Amino acid sequence: MKRSAPYLFLTPAIVLFTLFLAVPIGYTVYLAMRRTKVSGLGLGKGARREVFVGFDNFAAALSDAELWNGWLRVLGYGALVLVVMLGLALLFALLLDSARVRLAKFSRIAIFLPYAVPGVAATLMWGFLYLPSLSPIKDVLEVNFLGATAVTYSMANVAVWGGVGFNMLVLYTALRAIPRDLYEAARLDGASEVQIALRVKIPILTPAIILTTVFSIIATVQVFTEPSTLRPLTNTISSTWSPLMKVYRDAFVTGDLYSAAATSIVIAAISLVLSFGFLRVVRNRAFGEG
Amino acid sequence: MAATTVAASHRRARVATRRPLGLVPTAVLLVGAIYCLFPVFWVMIAATKSPGELFSTATLAFGTGFADNVAQLFAYRDGVFWLWALNTLIYAGGGALLSTAVSAISGYALAKYRFPGRNVIFNVLIGGILVPSVVLAIPQYLLFAKIGLADTYWAVLLPQILHPYSIYLARIYAAAAIPDSLLEAGRIDGAGDWTLMSRVAMPLMVPGMVTIFLFQFVAIWNNFLLPFIMLGDDNKFPLTVGLFTLLQAGSNQPSLYNLILTGAFLSIVPLIALFLTMQRYWRTDLSSGAVK
């Protein structure tokens, strides 16, 4: 066998990685440290120059009140989505895995179905369901789903609806891989189904739960599609509702690429800190390491 | 695999006779199923209503305007909806095909060869999972703009080919599905690396590749941020961005609501069909090496 073969096979992936991951990341970091400097009236050749400003843009991003408000909104929204979505996904997976459920296949397919619906279409459907003039839910519940306080919950509902099935499938797949004998042993010891779920299944599921949580954190921190799509239907969502919406506005509406680059790095850093922070907490809890 | 299912259901049957059927778990799951089906069902009904019926008839009663709505949607701006559907198919189909090919060949190399740098390459590629798309979208746009490819099909296709998680899945699948002995036998018979890859490894990886293709197809079909940033010309929009602009244009005009709802309904039908017909390939773990 030729020694070069594996490298040749990996070339497409490495080239794509370099072009569409490594170079863009490097370029973002480069942009984030620069700014246009205008001298004089900004007229004439050389009046506008791009200069190196170090960490100024990051400092500006971190002291931007509008961005902080965005973080607070996304924090509330994200906590809600993560807890409800992953809680329901775990509950559904455990129920499907317990032997005593009828119509399990129907339920599994139905709950996974929203995965096939694009975020824009999902938000659009729910958005129209929330509209006071169309909503069938409004007849039952006297709530304005698109009001200032309710809108966060309404948006979280869209994310939960879209994400619960995929996470359920990941957890369910992991559950099916556990040898059944383990449960038989627990049953012989007199454990109830609930006890088996809490004491046997959930501990074994921990790696899968961690994986789904980390992916969900990364996705939630970058929330963009849902608030952007819901915006035309209500006046309670600003153009900078989430940090990523502000990045978009800075980059493509106000044309401040440097701030946008710095803010996007801050978003990435925060999602990594949250993911690794979560991993750390879980590891300490699960394995008792200080 | 069939034997395992039979054994499992026997075991399940035995357990079930020992204990009463769980009504509460069944009910909870059904409530979950109804919650997930309800909006899809509602948008299907809404798509059948004429603009007048949308606001006057009972929300869950079918209307009479479906054909009109579809005709009106297809006539909207000279049939731009058709273009959006076609574009989506090109992006999702082409992107997923290329992505699957790259992932499969990379996964095979990583699983079946020992070479210096293997772990470094794997870890760096997989590290890409953790990079939030937000740090990539703007520089990708700027770089594409520099080489004059922003607002082209390439700008949406190319960045979505590399998918670290698919490489990870392909590696696991290749490790489980391709026996080393088969590769050895091929080498003894004088087959080169390329022949082994294309004639022995890839055919064995097909079931895993179908799963990778499906996940990537859905991911690209559902993607909004990248095409939204890259494209300005609405003849190149995929359905997600098209629907978004339709909503922006029509949110203040209730007379356009039926158009938007019909568009939303039609744009989810193909994916739901694909999803229901390919049930057995929707798996999140490929380590067993065989698709059930």
Domain presence at residue A145: yes
Q: How do strand A34-38 and strand A48-52 relate by DSSP bridges?
A: antiparallel
* Residue B124 neighbours by CB under 8 Å, 6+ apart: A17
Enclosing domain of residue B248:
82-260+268-281
How many residues in total does chain B contain? 292
Kindly identify which residue of chain A lies nearest to residue B17, measuring between CA atoms: A100
Q: Give the pair of three-digit tokens for residue B201.
A: 């490894």
Looking at the fold, whether A50 and A162 belong to one and the same domain comes out as no
Per the DSSP assignment, residues forming a β-bridge with A48 are A38
Domain presence at residue A239: yes
| CATH code for position B149 | 1.10.3720.10
pLDDT in tens, chain B (292 residues): 444 444 444 444 444 444 556 788 899 999 999 999 999 999 999 899 888 788 777 777 788 888 888 998 888 888 899 999 999 999 999 999 999 999 999 999 999 999 999 999 999 998 888 788 878 888 999 999 999 999 999 999 999 999 998 999 999 999 989 999 999 999 999 999 999 999 999 999 999 999 999 999 999 999 999 999 999 998 999 999 999 999 988 888 887 888 899 999 999 999 899 888 887 777 666 655 444 3
Q: Are B36 and A160 in contact (CB under 8 A)?
A: no
Domain presence at residue B56: no
Domain presence at residue B126: yes
**pLDDT of A245 strictly over 60:** yes
Looking at the fold, whether A164 and A114 belong to one and the same domain comes out as yes
Number of domains in chain B: 1
Looking at the fold, whether A233 and A139 belong to one and the same domain comes out as yes
Looking at the fold, whether A85 and A128 belong to one and the same domain comes out as yes
Looking at the fold, whether A145 and A206 belong to one and the same domain comes out as yes
Q: A109-132: per-residue pLDDT in tens? A: 999 999 999 999 999 999 988 888
Interchain pair A124, B131: CB under 8 A: no
Per CB-CB distance under 8 Å, the chain A contacts of B190 are: none
Domain presence at residue B77: no
Q: Tell me, what's the pLDDT at B242?
A: 94
Per CB-CB distance under 8 Å, the chain B contacts of A93 are: none
* Residue A281 neighbours by CB under 8 Å, 6+ apart: none
Interchain pair A124, B264: CB under 8 A: yes
Q: Tell me, what's the pLDDT at A21?
A: 93
Interchain pair A218, B283: CB under 8 A: no
Q: Tell me, what's the pLDDT at A139?
A: 62
Q: Tell me, what's the pLDDT at A137?
A: 65
Kindly identify which residue of chain B lies nearest to residue A227, measuring between CA atoms: B244
Interatomic CA distance for residues B174 and B201, integer angstroms? 8
Interchain pair B132, A247: CB under 8 A: no
Domain presence at residue B123: yes
The Cα-based distances of B35 to A132, A160, A169, B137 in angstroms read: 20, 11, 17, 33
Q: Tell me, what's the pLDDT at A185?
A: 87
Interchain pair A10, B279: CB under 8 A: no
| CATH code for position A174 | 1.10.3720.10
Domain presence at residue A59: no
Domain boundary among A54, A78, A93: A54
- Measure the CA angle with vertex B211, ends B207 and B217; round to 5°: 135
Interchain pair B224, A225: CB under 8 A: yes
Looking at the fold, whether A140 and A42 belong to one and the same domain comes out as no
Name the strand (E) or helix (H) holding A50.
Answer: strand A48-52
Cβ-Cβ contacts under 8 Å between A and B: the total is: 270
Locate all alpha helices (DSSP H) within A33-137, ordered by sequence: 56-62, 65-97, 104-112, 119-130
Q: A138-190: per-residue pLDDT in tens? A: 666 667 888 888 899 999 999 999 999 999 998 998 898 888 888 888 888 88
The Cα-based distances of A87 to A167, B23, B247 in angstroms read: 10, 20, 32
Looking at the fold, whether A108 and A213 belong to one and the same domain comes out as yes
* Residue A78 neighbours by CB under 8 Å, 6+ apart: A217, A220, A221, A223
The single residue listed with the structure tokens 């609501």 is B257
Per the DSSP assignment, residues forming a β-bridge with A34 are A52
Domain presence at residue B164: yes
Q: Count Cβ atoms within 10 A of the Cβ of residue A216 and give its class: 0-12 exposed, 13-18 middle, 19 or more buried.
A: buried
Per CB-CB distance under 8 Å, the chain A contacts of B271 are: 116-118
Domain presence at residue B223: yes
Interatomic CA distance for residues A19 and A22, integer angstroms? 6
Name the strand (E) or helix (H) holding A52.
Answer: strand A48-52
Interface test with A, best of B36, B106, B113, B154 (most A CBs within 10 A): B36
Min Cα–Cα distance to chain B from A277, Å: 14
Domain presence at residue B277: yes
Interchain pair B134, A117: CB under 8 A: no
Looking at the fold, whether A49 and A71 belong to one and the same domain comes out as no
Q: Are A98 and A193 in contact (CB under 8 A)?
A: yes
Candidates B55, B134, B162; nearest CB to A133: B55
Interface test with B, best of A102, A214, A226, A231 (most B CBs within 10 A): A102
- Nearest-10 crossing angle of helices B164-177, B118-127: 140
Q: A56-77: per-residue pLDDT in tens? A: 999 999 899 999 999 999 999 9
Number of domains in chain A: 2
Range from A42-51, A96-105, A162-171 that averages highest in pLDDT = A162-171
What whole-number percentage of chain A has pLDDT above 70?
91
Interchain pair B43, A24: CB under 8 A: no
Q: Tell me, what's the pLDDT at A42?
A: 62
Half-sphere exposure of B83 (CA within 13 A, CB side): 14
Domain boundary among A15, A35, A54: A54
Q: Give the pair of three-digit tokens for residue A256.
A: 């401040």
- The three-state secondary structure class of B198 is helix
- Between residues B193 and A48, which one has the greater pLDDT? B193
Domain presence at residue A237: yes
Q: Tell me, what's the pLDDT at B233?
A: 93
Strands (E), chain B: none
Looking at the fold, whether A91 and A210 belong to one and the same domain comes out as yes
Per CB-CB distance under 8 Å, the chain B contacts of A111 are: 29, 32-33, 36
Domain presence at residue A277: yes
Candidates A115, A222, A261; nearest CB to B138: A261
Q: Give the pair of three-digit tokens for residue A36.
A: 């246009």
Interchain pair B26, A103: CB under 8 A: yes
Looking at the fold, whether A192 and A215 belong to one and the same domain comes out as yes
Interchain pair B260, A124: CB under 8 A: yes
Looking at the fold, whether A120 and A81 belong to one and the same domain comes out as yes
Candidates B36, B261, B268; nearest CB to A128: B261
Enclosing domain of residue A145:
64-287
Looking at the fold, whether A136 and A254 belong to one and the same domain comes out as yes
